[in-house]
Amino acid sequence: MTFTLITGASTGIGYEVAKRFYFHGHSLLLVARNAERLEALKREFPETQNQKIKTIAMDLSSPNAARLLFEQTQHNGWHVDTLINNAGFGTFGLFDETNLETLENMMHLNMVTLTALMHFFIKPMRAAKHGQVINIASTAAFQGIPKFSVYAASKAFVLHLSEALHVEYKNYGICVSAICPGATATQFATRAQMQNSKIFKPAVSATPEAVAALCYSTWKNRKAIAVHGIANRLLVFLSRFMPRTLNTKLAGKFVDV
């Protein structure tokens, strides 16, 4: 039996992705920090004879978390056929006033753990000549964003790495994709201290259900990059014809609180 592994699965986009893949018949391996929430998900997504639900409570921002997670799947004989790297967070504020440990944890979770998980799980996928990886990036990846600089840079890393690996592993039967949602109505804004930003107003932000739908269609169609929303796709397209400095200034105005 193969599993779809989803990180950051307890709330927000990760939860909606888990729900969508569950209702499409996938066996799930759900990873998040909140053990109680994971137990609730096991009750919400009951197992069947052909569909299993496994959970692992783990803080993926901690050192060696990716290795420990991979080793646990190997020990239990859980073959991961699809890896969805959703866990991540951002923080808003003047760069030198932001707590350095917070920035380091963000970079580790958004980039280092994501890279390590792909490194571990792509190996058995290549041996099986089949597998998929979906990385949740962001429209923030397409330009620098003042006061949101490290988060935007981390998502640019995710986008570029995904693009390269999509080509690198295409002939091995493995599809690596990146999803780029814009502002989404989840707990992300509160944690990032951006709840007063106009991009997170209900009339502007996307729903996690809509992002999950894009994630599933990207998985189904094995696309390389998917940007959520017509407005976001238009902005990404137009940004190609604008000076990068202007893109950065405009992005800063969009997200400012």
Residue 98, SS3 per DSSP = coil
Which pLDDT does position 247 carry in this prediction? 78
- Record the pTM: 0.91
* Residue 256: pLDDT band with limits 50, 70, 90: low
- For helices 114-128 and 149-168, the axis angle rounded to 10 degrees is 10
Burial class (CB in 10 A: 0-12, 13-18, 19+), 99: exposed
As a whole-number percent, the residues of the chain with pLDDT over 90 amount to 77
Residue type, 155: K
Report CA Rg, the chain. 18
Per-residue pLDDT, 195: 56
Asked if 150 and 157 touch (Cβ cutoff 8 Å), the reply is: no
What CA–CA distances, in Å, run from 83 to 38, 75, 116? 18, 18, 12
Task: Tell me which amino acid residue 53 is.
Answer: I
Residue-level pLDDT at 237: 85
State how far the Cα of 208 lies from the Cα of 181, in Å rounded to an integer.
9
pLDDT reported for residue 249 = 81
d(C-alpha 235, C-alpha 77), whole Å? 44
Let me know: does 185 contact 207? Beta carbons within 8 Å: yes
Domains and their CATH numbers in the chain: 2-255 (3.40.50.720)
Using alpha carbons, list the distances in angstroms from residue 128 to 2, 185, 231.
12, 37, 39
Q: Give the model's confidence band at 82: pLDDT under 50 very low, under 70 low, under 90 confident, else very high.
A: very high
Binning the chain into helix, strand and coil, the percentages to the nearest 5 are 55, 15, 30
Over the stretch 172-184, which tens digit does the pLDDT of each residue have? 999 999 999 976 7
**Amino acid 187: pLDDT:** 61
- Tell me, rounded to whole angstroms, the distance of Cα 238 from its chain centroid: 24
Is there a contact between 82 and 134 (Cβ–Cβ < 8 Å)?
Answer: yes
Q: Are 210 and 19 in contact (CB under 8 A)?
A: no
Phi, psi of 134 (to 5 degrees): -120, 120
DSSP states along 57-95: E--TTSTTHHHHHHHHHHHHT-EEEEEEE-------S-G
| Position 199 confidence tier, pLDDT thresholds 50, 70, 90 | low
From the list 255, 132, 113, 112, the residue with the least C-alpha distance to 197 is 255
Residues 211-254 have pLDDT tens digits of 999 999 999 999 999 999 788 788 888 788 878 888 788 777 66
What is the per-residue pLDDT across 127-174, written as a single tens digit (0 to 9) for each?
999 999 999 999 999 999 999 999 999 999 999 999 999 999 999 999
- Residue 193 CB neighbour total at 10 angstroms: 14
